[in-house]
Amino acid sequence: MDYRDVEWKPRRSRKGYFLSGLIGVLVGAFLMGFFFPYVSGQSGSPFGWQQNGDGQASQGPLKTVNVNVNDAVTKVVSNMSDTVVGVINIQKSSFWEEGGEAGSGSGVIYKKKGDTFYIVTNHHVIKGANQLEVSLHDGTRISANLVGSDQLMDLAVLTVKSNKIKKTAAFGNSDHVKPGEPVIAIGNPLGLEFAGSVTQGVISGTERAIPVDSNGDGQTDWNAEVLQTDAAINPGNSGGALINMDGKVIGINSMKIAESEVEGIGLSIPANLVIPVIEDLERYGEVKRPYLGVGMKSLADIASYHWQETLKLPSKVTSGVVVMSVEPLSPAGKAGLKELDVVTSFDGKSVQNIVDLRKYLYQRKVGDKVKVQFYRSGKKKSAEIKLSQTDRYGG
């Protein structure tokens, strides 16, 4: 045997073996003491296992978690549900026929005066009705009276009397609404069978402009400013409430884009636009809007050939409203406006088209004085107009 191939190792003493063994015993005892409660099924076991009478492992009792459902949403719904009602439109085909329900929508009880309660809903909900009824939260149906309605803003006011009504809703400041803010819609989608339905979402956008044809001539007369939400709003929700987390009504739901390729777009009339309209409806039965007394056409709708040849406009003028006719005793007529004048500014705001002009006009009140700038035969002029009232929509 060649001892050169053998590695030499020093021999360990008996004392070294003894110390190593003692340390191992101590470590093992510590680990058993630490883990034994867990593996034996005692309280605190991460696996929840216990031993039964036969010494077999079994799962211990499961713990339940209590969730407090009385959160902000349920509190708002609980407080506001009684203020949202169903509105039933009853129409008769002829005088000898019984009235039939032509449709239904929703409404919001917003005011009490004496023993009378006031309800705001949409104009299209009550349009053509021979009789109106309101369905309360508990299903009670009572007769309602129409105070007035406004087609342009799609709003109407009803009154009812009932000792079963205990609450009224309060309006919030819709100018403070921000995209992403959580909201709740309450109404009666698809009829009274789904009365008091609640949907939740967020504000998707503010100051959305939706074109409105008020007189049915196929031309846009007005851009309605609305709040956009993804809270589900379906037929029957019209006239219902859009509510913030403070329990305030920030909008009256009016319509839904129902194209097959569009989902989650609901529209609501902002509360700050609703309030002055319903105040006029309460007071006068109609909305008193100022008017100018002119026939109008957007410059963009006139062939560009006439911009210089007929209207004599400077090349820099590419937008505005052309005066097509003037009523002699109207505010515009008294201020000196004439046919073929091109209005480019109203009340200090640039006018791009008819929709702009009507928007600025309807923001003013009867009796206000406004400054109008316009071009006549290529020359820039201005006039001050004192606004008066008319019973029709238009300029």
* Catalytic (active site) residue 238: yes
Looking at 154, 221, 280, 356, which residue is catalytic? Answer: 154
Looking at 104, 124, 174, 221, which residue is catalytic? Answer: 124
Q: What is the largest CA-CA distance in the chain?
A: 136
Measured distance CA(335)–CA(329) in Å, rounded: 10
* Catalytic (active site) residue 176: no
* Catalytic (active site) residue 124: yes
Burial class (CB in 10 A: 0-12, 13-18, 19+), 91: middle
Phi, psi (degrees; rounded to nearest 5) at 4:
-70, -20
Q: How far is CA 38 from the centre of its chain?
A: 55
Looking at 104, 238, 268, 330, which residue is catalytic? Answer: 238
| Residues involved in catalysis | 124, 154, 238
